[in-house]
Each structure stands twice: as C-alpha cells, then as structure tokens.
Amino acid sequence: MDRTSRKPWPDYRAIWRWHFYASLFCMPFVVLLSITGAIYLFKTEVEAWLDAPYDSLTIAGEAQPVARQIQAALDAFPGATFQSYELPQTPTSSARVIIRQKGEALRVFVHPESLAVLHSVPDQQRLMRQMFRLHGELMLGDRGSNAVELAASWTIIMLVTGMVLWWPRNTTRWAGVLYPRLRHGGRVFWRDLHSVTGIWISAFALFLLISGLPWAKFWGDYFRNVRQVTGLAAATQEWSNTSSSSRRGGGEHSDHGGSRPRGGQASEGAKPIDLMPIDRVVAVVAPLNLPHPVVIGPPSGGSSNWSAKSMTPNRPWRENLTVNATTGEIVSRDGFRDRHFIDKCVAVGIAAHEGRLFGWPNQLLGLMTAMGLVLMCFSGVVLWWRRRDPGQLGTPHPAANPRFSKGLLVAVILLGVCLPLFGASLLLVLILEWAVLSRIPPLQRWLGLRPRPRPAPAAAMLFLVVCLGCGDVKSVKGGTSGILLIDDAAMSDMQITFYKEDVSPPEPVGFAVSTGAGRFEMLQNGATGPLYLPAGEYRCTVETAGAPLDLPKEYLDPNETPVMVNWTEDEPMLVVKVELKDGAGK
C-alpha cells in the first residue's frame, strides 16, 4: 500500500466521530446535571428562604438553656436520641436540633424561649438535600454515582474533542470562532452558537467536572487507594463519596464527628447522653464566631470531649474544635491550614464547584457555565437532526486507511489511568464495535461503521466472556473473620491493613473494612479474593473508610503504628484492639 495514500489519524473526521459518540451518551446527563447543579448553587439562599419563618421569631425574654431546648426536641419524639445541635445564626432564630429516630436523622426547630416545637423534617427529605442526591447519584445510590461519574468522564472527552474541532483552520477572522454569525441563518447560525458557546465555557466546565470527581463513589475510592499506596493519604477526609442512602440515618450532618456513636449503629437504646455540659460548650464556642453553620456534637467512645465544627460551604474557612465540657478548655483546633496539600486542593475545588469560594461572582460563573452546557446540548441536537441522513444515526463516516498514532495511544492510556470508568467503557465500546456492530450489515449501515467480516467463533466467545465479566461487581466473601475495637467499642467503616512484622520495610499481606458491629472479613490485596490469615505476628494500620473519626497519624504508618496482632488459627475470631488516650481520636 502506498504510504502517501494513508491519512494521519486521528484526523478531523475521527475526532468528529468520537465527539459525536461522547455527545450521544452524555447529553441527557449533561442537561440534568447542569439544571440540578445550577439550582444547588443557591442552596444557602434557598434554605434560608424556606427556613425564614423560623428565623424571625418573637422572643420577649431570655432563651432557655440549650440543654432544655434539646430535651424539648427529644420529648416531642419519644425514643429518639440526640445527634447534634446547630448554633442559631441570629438572636431571633429557632434552635436546630438534629435527633435520630428509627435510624433516620430528623431536624427539629425549637422555639428557644417557649420550647415549642415549631417544625420538623427528615434531613434526607429537605429540598436541597434531594437536589444534591439527584445531582450526584440520580437518586440511585452508589449505582447512580457510578453512572454520573461515567457520564462526567465522557463529557470531558466531549469537551476536549469539541475544542479540537473548534480550533481555527485557514482563517484570520474571529467571526464563528469567538463570536457567532447571527445573520447567516440556518446551519451556520446553529454551528456557531454551538462551537462559540463551547469555547467560552469549556475551561470552566472541565473544572467543574474534575472538581466533582472526589464525590463520585468509584473515583473517590480509587483516589483514596492511590493516596494510600503513594503515602499521601490523610487520616480522614472531610468529604464523603458514599451514597447518602447507604449511611445509616443520612443527612448532611450524618458523617460529622461526634454525631454518631461508635460502631456506626443507630443509637436508639444506647445510654442517654448527659446534656447539661452543652451549655458550657456553647459558651466557649459561640464567641469564636466560626462561619455558620456551626454544629456541636456529643462525646463518643467514652471520651468526655464534645466536638464543634463549622460546616460552612466555603470549605477553606471550616474549623474543627474539641472542647472539654468539664473545664471548658479547647483541647484541639484544626482547620484548612492543618490539612494535607491534596486535601486543601480538593476543599478549594469543592467550594468553587458549589459556588461558594468567592461569593456571588462564583455563583454567577457556575450558573453561566451550566446554562451554556444546556445551550450546547440543544444546539448540538439541532445540528445532528439537520445533518443526519434518513434511516441512519448520523455518525460521521470514518476515514479510509487511517494511520495509527502512538501519541493518541499514550493519551488514551493516561486518560484511562486517571479516569478508570472511562477506560473500561472505552474498551467495551471498541470491542462491541469490532466484534458485533461492524459485522451486522443493518447495524453497520445505520451507525456508519466500516464493514467487517462476521466474527470467528473464537472472537465471538471472547466478546461474550468480556461482556459477562463487565457485569455487576460481586463482593468478595469469606476470609478470616474478626472484629475491630477502639477503646473497647466496636467500630464500623474503618479499614485495617495487615503487615508482616518480621519484614523490613513492612509488607502488606491483606486488608479488611469493618461493617456493622465492627465485624470484618479479610481480603487479599486488591480485593482479588478472600484471605485466610496465616498464624503469626502482624502490625496493623487503621484509617477511616467513612467513619466520623480522626486517628493520630502514626496509625496510618506501618513503621510507627502501635496496633499489633498475635494471631493463632485456633482462635475463634481475630480481634484488633486500638487503645486511644482521651482526645486522641476526634
């Protein structure tokens, strides 16, 4: 074959094809996420408007002690337990008491003087919480989060290929490049509207997509594991990538320290909390003027210390305090300045993603980006509908005799490493096109694919095996069973990694994640199968996998961890004990 007859690839048509493929899949998600995201930008304002009747109360005398306000909320819901208390924003604001009833977080509005219960609502049913779940997980839990992540990954491809297609070629004019030609009408108008809108908002849209990835279930776990392997992990992270429906009780305060008893179980039936010290804690915290909302939680794990956290959506301004309720002493205080560099970057990204980093201009920029994405999707559909041939999907036809590009391969591999769901889906699409779609004439013609001969039985069998392997991930069961105890209390949602004691540097042999009542089953590294732990001495690192607990840094380092296990196979259960001094874990 004459080498000069082969065109370089990816050429304009190939990039156009992948832009079309990505857009075809992404556009419904992009429209939904743009609209819900635009609404969520105004979460603070919407919730202030909804709660306005409870923030302009008539208070003639002095407010009752905070402990009595909390008790009034508990008395109104027999069997409920105290979870946290939110400092009132103004002197005329009602008290917000978050209690737990039947495993569900309930927000109760209490008149601070009369102690009358003015209103109550499950935290998960609040309007903006519902909008958050729709935006982040399509109301489908972790499966919906994976779908959103997959769509976000392909939207990145859509935007990048769109910018390549936009790049000016053989022109010195800015019309149709930086501003649309409004008087040409027809296809030129829609093409300019699509491409010019895209080039102005693509950088902001890419930022929103990337800054939202830490919330995604799959990518968030992937990110945490990479940080652990590379030694860049923090003891805990202040954002959660777990479905709110999978956390017992849910609610925006459900994963804050001090708001949930150790063991992760619903706290009904537990020993009642002494509420009297909270007035002393409030007296210490209120004058600090931490950014609203400030949530105060009771002690946990046998400690006498209370927690106070600023949960402001502008995350770089958040502060975490631990207060000794007996003495009123602030035992510890940490904030943005104390975070790992990676956690600082994520905090800034999330605050900007939510439109809270630099006030109303941030909200306006987010709103314009969201509306620009909707406009791009609409104009893209119009362009596709006008261009497509009857009886065909309208996919751009591939170029003849393309020449493979090593640079493209490297770029795709890097994207697959950074966006694993994109890499897996791309591989599946390529196999599907090669093994099935391009070999069935009606589908091949409808999709505009290059025709191929029917697959050999071996190739068809390979495709079937790959498809079957891409189904739902089945959790690994079995392995040595055990229980995690922290200060003699069972603790769930913690990851324990086991290392050989007699090897330097320590070598990981397996891990486990504790579930309800602190129980766990050992898994091999990479979760490739169950692990039946051989007898011997092991050192363990312990870190949070969603539990509201900060452990000292030495518990993450296999060289410094004080947690040791001497395991004999004749014991009925592996017991991992973590002993903390008061205040060591927050």
Lowest mean pLDDT among 55-69, 341-355, 449-463: 449-463
Q: How far apart are CA 157 and CA 14, in angstroms?
A: 13
The mean pLDDT of 112-137, rounded to a whole number, is 93
- pLDDT of the residue at 171: 62
Answer for the pair 220, 350: CB distance below 8 angstroms, yes or no: no
- pLDDT of the residue at 254: 43
Higher pLDDT, 473 or 181: 181
List, for residues 321-371, the tens digit of each pLDDT value. 999 988 889 999 999 998 888 889 999 999 999 999 999 999 999 999 999
Confidence grade of residue 18 (pLDDT, cut at 50, 70, 90): confident
List, for residues 261-312, the tens digit of each pLDDT value. 333 333 444 567 889 999 999 999 999 999 999 999 998 766 789 999 999 9
The mean pLDDT of 6-24, rounded to a whole number, is 69
Answer for the pair 284, 296: CB distance below 8 angstroms, yes or no: no
Residue 259 has pLDDT above 50, yes or no: no
Please give the mean pLDDT across all residues of the chain: 81
Residue 467 has pLDDT above 90, yes or no: no
Main-chain phi, psi angles of 341, to 5 degrees: -55, -40
Q: What are the angstrom distances between the C-alpha of 372 and each of 168, 253, 380? A: 21, 33, 12
- pLDDT of the residue at 4: 42
The mean pLDDT of 176-196, rounded to a whole number, is 78
- pLDDT of the residue at 295: 95
- pLDDT of the residue at 489: 83
The mean pLDDT of 436-463, rounded to a whole number, is 63
Lowest mean pLDDT among 35-44, 252-261, 357-366, 377-386: 252-261
- pLDDT of the residue at 205: 93
Confidence grade of residue 391 (pLDDT, cut at 50, 70, 90): low
* Element (DSSP H or E) covering residue 228: helix 217-230
Answer for the pair 108, 77: CB distance below 8 angstroms, yes or no: yes
Enter the CATH code of domain 481-578.
2.60.40
- pLDDT of the residue at 265: 33
Greatest distance between any 2 Cα atoms in the chain = 94
* Element (DSSP H or E) covering residue 351: helix 341-353
Lowest mean pLDDT among 16-25, 300-309, 400-409: 400-409
Residue 167 has pLDDT above 80, yes or no: no
- 199 CB-near residues (< 8 Å, 6+ apart): 163, 166, 177, 178
Confidence grade of residue 75 (pLDDT, cut at 50, 70, 90): very high
The mean pLDDT of 47-69, rounded to a whole number, is 91
List, for residues 564-586, the tens digit of each pLDDT value. 998 887 777 899 998 876 544 44
Query: Please, what is the end-to-end C-alpha distance for the chain in angstroms?
Result: 70
Degrees to nearest 5, angle at CA 320 with 77 and 511: 90
What whole-number percentage of the chain has pLDDT above 90?
35
List, for residues 148-162, the tens digit of each pLDDT value. 999 999 999 889 888
Contacts 24+ apart (CB under 8 A), 506-512: 506/539, 506/558, 506/559, 508/558, 509/533, 509/538, 510/479, 512/479, 512/482
Answer for the pair 260, 254: CB distance below 8 angstroms, yes or no: yes
- pLDDT of the residue at 70: 95
Give me the amino acid identity at 428: L
- pLDDT of the residue at 436: 78
Query: pTM of the full predicted structure?
Result: 0.71
**DSSP letter, residue 127:** H
- pLDDT of the residue at 242: 67
Give me the amino acid identity at 229: V
One-character DSSP codes across 413-448:
HHHHHHSHHHHHHHHHHHHHHHHTGGGSHHHHHHHT
Scanning the structure block, which residue is given the tokens 């006030």?
A: 359
CA 317, 320, 325, 326 dihedral sign is negative
Max mean pLDDT range (169-173, 238-242, 415-419): 415-419
The mean pLDDT of 508-526, rounded to a whole number, is 85
Lowest mean pLDDT among 1-5, 207-211, 279-283: 1-5
Residue 6 has pLDDT above 80, yes or no: no
Residue 517 has pLDDT above 50, yes or no: yes
Lowest mean pLDDT among 67-81, 201-215, 328-342, 496-510: 496-510
- pLDDT of the residue at 236: 61
Residue 472 has pLDDT above 90, yes or no: no
- pLDDT of the residue at 326: 86
Domain coordinates in residue numbering, the chain: 14-66+124-249+340-387, 277-331, 389-469, 481-578
- pLDDT of the residue at 473: 44
Q: How far apart are CA 325 and CA 166, in angstroms?
A: 62
Give me the amino acid identity at 101: Q
Q: How far apart are CA 349 and CA 283, in angstroms?
A: 33
Higher pLDDT, 61 or 9: 61
- pLDDT of the residue at 248: 41
